[in-house]
A and B are shown apart, each in its own frame.
Chain A
């Protein structure tokens, strides 16, 4: 079996004296979509922050494509091919949609078919209509599409989505899920955090449930679908 694209071993992280993660062990293989589940405060965002270099782990190791990244700076990790779609979108208010897509499209990261503005506009036709609008002139849904397109424009080998459908209208949420399914079909490795478990089941290959900073359960979507008692116990659904 191939080595995993991302490997976390004994990951412990927190804020000052407050420990949030207690020895996480998990892998993400190339082409896989992995869902990170759990109630609020269980450590999902801390896990993501540790992977992208926003938070230095206190113990353990994170290896991306065979290279330890737990001590790397955030920009160096991003250049290796880890892109995050952050909670809250964080589009640049003074860059147009088109500028968002060309400003970050420099690296290929060994991707055979790099993301060009034309491909991104094909994925999100609504962005093409708004190409000349500034980041702060877009609706919430358009900003979310732009945040995903911006992350894709860096040609990531691992795409991380943190609550990508949070606060969006149902029709826009469906649009985002459709795009994520399309990305999966194209072989995009993805780690996704979201609260819509039923949607995640349809998308993810594997699911990790976090409970108080530990992985309480992990398995395939079919297994999670069959074990509804886990939903109530760990996800509050």
Chain B
């Protein structure tokens, strides 16, 4: 799974970089495209199997996977264990609310602004938080997210604790509006694929190498001449902006926004999903989100106490696949060391 790097990509030693011997290299290369094709076809196939309800469910999985992918980027590659990522999702969602309240109806404007405003919030919060490390970083990001949560609770104009309903869907523009009931699904899928591809690419670029170096040994990176603080802040802002975009999409998906979207438990849940899938693994975030939300959905059918089996399953994963399900699958697939 090693990708060529910007320098020396074609050099002979890079060929030796194939320490990751895939048993089925062709399948491994095509699998992402196969998954993408299946996901794209799902809204068309679902009615034939009576699974219309699950089109909305998969859309939610995709949106949460966007947020989790951004968290995986800073947590898994950058070693920044942020416990306030849901705060940026909330900032994105409330940006959509603010624009709708102001009379704007363009989805692209709303989602773009959601990413921009969340990115600005991440820049301000990151500028302070990234001066701390370890448990202090966890606590300060949690504190900022809770400040945002209580700010949303106190904003009566936007529904306060009761939340805000988005009764009219945002306009996608041109032929996209009303062309098909599932257009929003495909738009979300396209955005999720683009975000995933972008983060995968960046994670294996020179910047990604530097970020992993910072995670492993920050002082050594300083001694090698890297502006560590600036590099971490850039990653934090990018992740915050993408989480904000996910928040904007989630607002459209739910047609409702409430402060609970940015409660600290949501941040913790995102962390759990990333860890479950495999922090620092390319497929970790989407796998973790899909696994968690699917199990939650299935277990709810059988018991009201679905947290119990889900908790037990999490324990099993922690003991048998401490590096996440993605790492387990990579080992089974004979691709040791793939990241």
Contacts and interface: CB of A to CB of B under 8 A. Distances in A.
B224 A131 contact: no
Interface stretch (A9-17, A77-85, A177-185, A202-210): A77-85
Interface size class of A (residues with CB under 8 A): 35 or more
A118 B8 contact: yes
A54 B223 contact: yes
21 contacts: A74-B222, A75-B222, A75-B223, A75-B225, A79-B225, A84-B223, A86-B220, A92-B217, A94-B280, A94-B339, A98-B17, A102-B5, A102-B7, A102-B206, A105-B7, A106-B206, A117-B8, A118-B11, A130-B16, A131-B17, A150-B224
Interface in B160-213: 206, 209-210, 212-213
Contact of B8 (A75, A78, A116, A129): A116
Contacts of A74: 222-223
A99 to B, nearest CB: 5
Contacts of A117: 7-8, 11, 13
Contacts of B12: 128
Interface string A78-111: 1100011010001011111111011111110000
A128 B223 contact: no
Interface of B: 2, 5-8, 11-14, 16-20, 206, 209-210, 212-213, 215-217, 219-220, 222-228, 280, 337, 339
B5 A104 contact: no
A94 B212 contact: yes
Interface of A: 52-54, 73-79, 83-84, 86, 90, 92-99, 101-107, 116-118, 121, 127-134, 137, 150-151, 154
A94 B216 contact: yes
A99 B17 CA distance: 10
Contacts of A94: 212, 215-216, 280, 339
A125 B222 CA distance: 28
A97 B6 CA distance: 15
Nearest to B213: A92
B13 A133 contact: no
